Amino acid sequence: MILHYQTHPVKSGKSWLYATSVLLILGGGIALANPSVAYAATNTNAFVRKEAPKKVENDAVAHQRVATFSTAVNSVGDNIATGSITGTLEYGDWSGSDLTTDLENGDAYLSINDESGNELQDIELMGTVSGTTFSGTYSESATSASDYNYGIVTGKQSADGFWTFNFIQSFAVKAVATGSITESLSDPSYTFNGQVSDGKNFDSVWFIDADGYGVNLDGAVSGDTFTGTYEWNTYDENTGSNVNYIGTVTGTLSNGTWTFNFGQKKSMLPATFSGVISGSTSTGWTVDYSNNDNSFTDGTSFSSADVYNEFGNDGDYWLNGTTTGTTFSGMYSTYDSDGNGIVAGDVTGTLSSGKWAFKFTKTSYSATGLITGTLSNPYFWDGNGNATSSTAASEMEFVDSSGDTIDLEGSTVNNKFTGTYTNESTGVTNNVTGTYSSGKWTFNFGNYTAPTILYNAQVQKIGWQKSQNDQTQWFKDGQEAGTNGKSLRMETLKIALKLPKGLTGGVEYDIHVQKIGWQNAASPTKATKTPQSIVPETQWFTNGAAAGTVGKGLRMEAFTVKLTGQIAKYYDVVYDSHVQNIGWQYSNHALTWKSSSPETVAPQADWFKNGQEVGTNGKSLRMEALEIKLVPKSATAQSQVAALEAAAQ
């Protein structure tokens, strides 16, 4: 027998659940048992609300683990069984993991063979590792196919890496079926709160029916009675395809045997899929509908679902969201192509004529500000802790490019998220905003306030265009100061900066004036449009001082401006001028300058910037208008400034 066992996260309220599917290959035939068992995970690697998803190893079928048993973990030695099970234990290797790693992850499979190498039974262990010791529970397939042995197990690891386990058997429990299911049930696997159960008390159990298909029960035990719901994956000879049935079930325990009475079965609703995946339940796909309390439903209304292709390598897609009338809105998640992480997107569904039509939309997530790069392993919740689509979320969770888990809380309105975030690794908490457009979320993490360059101009026949003393009214960040097409000279200029907390520095500038020349002796040589090394002098105009003349009727002909101090490390100042008989001196000014934002355009080699002379010198041409803006020096400049601001709060 080869055992295929898969585990994936399902959201239930504020807790993550494991959902488990099993594929058994018996003899020469294949029996599919994919009951989508859901049980609360309480072991050390549980999918809890604020924890990154558990890594699932890759193999031919995404996140489906195939046990290949080997007689040793290392090059020498054996894993030994004592107590109610004796002999040498073979370890089920999950695609490269070792036994200790699987034990630390909360589950492991072992096998015991006879002297000829024939497999006698499988043993499943669940529990926790502390140093070199293990404690937990186990289930063991007994010699009778309808019996399972359960009990307590402890383990001790030797210096060479091998384990000795001591098994203490509780008892073997059987199960019989009555009602809508009358076939024999074998290989029961009882669990309670994510741990192997002895069958007396459990909240989930799955069986294999006489044809090798899975029957899954979820509910609760009270005394010697069980009440819950069931899902039955079986084959419909009339349609020639697999079909899922659901219903209610009760059970009674007597003399070590459970007798389950299965209520009237109802078929789960069929579905079609488009977008990221395509197909339908009539072309090999299966969809299992359930609610947050793990009860199964026919799909008329549901909060979670498992979509998988039984005979393909398409992987599983887990839906979580909300059904409102005949529409479903939520998110889907699946493991990436390498099985190394969760990817997720948005999914919507419409119910019509007894069939769901689901559309899967691939969504990407990027970060700017204090956090940069691509965000992965996304999850989304509404205000009540229910999974929802990204465009309706009030809580989000990601893993950033450094591997840190980032939690967001706030609200999403009209595809815009506003709130706070917490980096769980560093404890940093700050503001965050996000915008969704065309399948992409872009988040800005931190109190990033862009520095602003402000300027004001005195113009012939107009005077000062803005209030002289109220800098909040001045032109800023690439706006045009002066006039265009009116043949009016600029006479005076003021330039200032508005900086976020934590960022220091200033601005210096000078003007070439009719009949005067440069007003500062350290001004640049004639325009070369190449960077120059200019030593700041005390005579330069700084931080809002008036450069030029007032009331003398003298034209501005050229100017230069540069940043000083800390801001010059992160930003360039770029500028252009509109000159008599020339127009804008930067030939593509109107096409690329005005239409581009400072945050996204890198300075071009032919822009005037950082102290270069703009305008004319010695041609007696008036300067009529100008524009000035700040541009980050690098892709990380904003993040660095945001960090300075956050530290200064």
| Residue-level pLDDT at 13 | 34
Q: For the domain that residue 253 is a member of, what is the CATH number? A: 3.10.450.50
Of 444, 461, 487, the residue at which a domain comes to its end is 444
pTM score, whole prediction? 0.49
Of 147, 169, 191, the residue at which a domain comes to its end is 169
| Residue-level pLDDT at 631 | 87
Query: Both 416 and 506 in a single domain?
Result: no
* pLDDT for 109 beyond 70: no
Tell me if 304 is assigned to some domain.
no
| Residue-level pLDDT at 76 | 37
Query: Both 622 and 481 in a single domain?
Result: yes
Task: Determine the Cα–Cα distance for residues 160 and 164; give it in Å rounded to an integer.
Answer: 12
| Residue-level pLDDT at 34 | 27
Confidence of residue 240 (pLDDT cuts 50, 70, 90): low
Tell me if 157 is assigned to some domain.
yes
| Residue-level pLDDT at 561 | 94
* pLDDT for 51 beyond 60: no
Tell me if 17 is assigned to some domain.
no
Q: What is the pLDDT of residues 462-480, one digit of tens each?
A: 999 999 889 999 999 889 9
One-letter amino acid for residue 241 of the chain: S
Q: Which residues contact 1 (CB under 8 A, 6 or more apart)?
A: 24, 25, 26, 119, 122
Q: What is the mean pLDDT of residues 34-57?
A: 24
| Residue-level pLDDT at 137 | 78
| Residue-level pLDDT at 60 | 23
Q: What is the pLDDT of residues 513-524, one digit of tens each?
A: 999 998 874 544
Q: Which whole-number Å values give the CA distances from 363 to 284, 333, 393, 644, in the listed order?
A: 26, 11, 14, 31
| Residue-level pLDDT at 593 | 42
Query: Both 465 and 406 in a single domain?
Result: no
Query: Both 335 and 379 in a single domain?
Result: no
Domain that holds residue 148: 108-169
Burial class (CB in 10 A: 0-12, 13-18, 19+), 513: buried
Higher pLDDT residue, 346 or 238? Answer: 346
Tell me if 474 is assigned to some domain.
yes
Query: Both 491 and 609 in a single domain?
Result: yes
Tell me if 200 is assigned to some domain.
no
Higher pLDDT residue, 529 or 417? Answer: 417
Query: Both 423 and 541 in a single domain?
Result: no
Task: Determine the Cα–Cα distance for residues 168 and 83; give it in Å rounded to an integer.
Answer: 6
Residues facing residue 157 across a β-bridge = 163
Query: Both 347 and 488 in a single domain?
Result: no
Tell me if 6 is assigned to some domain.
no
Nearest to 314 by CA among 344, 342, 284: 284
Tell me if 132 is assigned to some domain.
yes
Query: Both 470 and 493 in a single domain?
Result: yes
* pLDDT for 486 beyond 90: yes
Query: Both 519 and 608 in a single domain?
Result: yes
| Residue-level pLDDT at 601 | 36
Q: What is the mean pLDDT of residues 256-282?
A: 90
The mean of the pLDDT values for the chain is: 75
Tell me if 215 is assigned to some domain.
yes
Q: Among positive and negative, which fits the CA dihedral 8, 14, 15, 20?
A: negative
Confidence of residue 256 (pLDDT cuts 50, 70, 90): confident
Task: Determine the Cα–Cα distance for residues 212 and 24; give it in Å rounded to an integer.
Answer: 8
Q: Which whole-number Å values give the CA distances from 362 to 277, 314, 333, 401, in the listed order?
A: 10, 15, 10, 19
Query: Both 122 and 142 in a single domain?
Result: yes
Task: Determine the Cα–Cα distance for residues 488 and 572; give it in Å rounded to an integer.
Answer: 29
Higher pLDDT residue, 603 or 314? Answer: 314
Identify whether the C-beta of residue 206 lies closer than 8 Å to the C-beta of residue 215: yes
Of 397, 426, 444, the residue at which a domain comes to its end is 444
Q: Which residues contact 462 (CB under 8 A, 6 or more apart)?
A: 483, 488
Domains: count for the chain: 5
Query: Both 434 and 501 in a single domain?
Result: no
| Residue-level pLDDT at 340 | 54
| Residue-level pLDDT at 229 | 92
Query: Both 356 and 259 in a single domain?
Result: no
* pLDDT for 160 beyond 70: yes
Q: What is the mean pLDDT of residues 544-556?
A: 93
Q: Which residue has the tokens 């493991």?
A: 335
| Residue-level pLDDT at 94 | 40
* pLDDT for 540 beyond 90: no
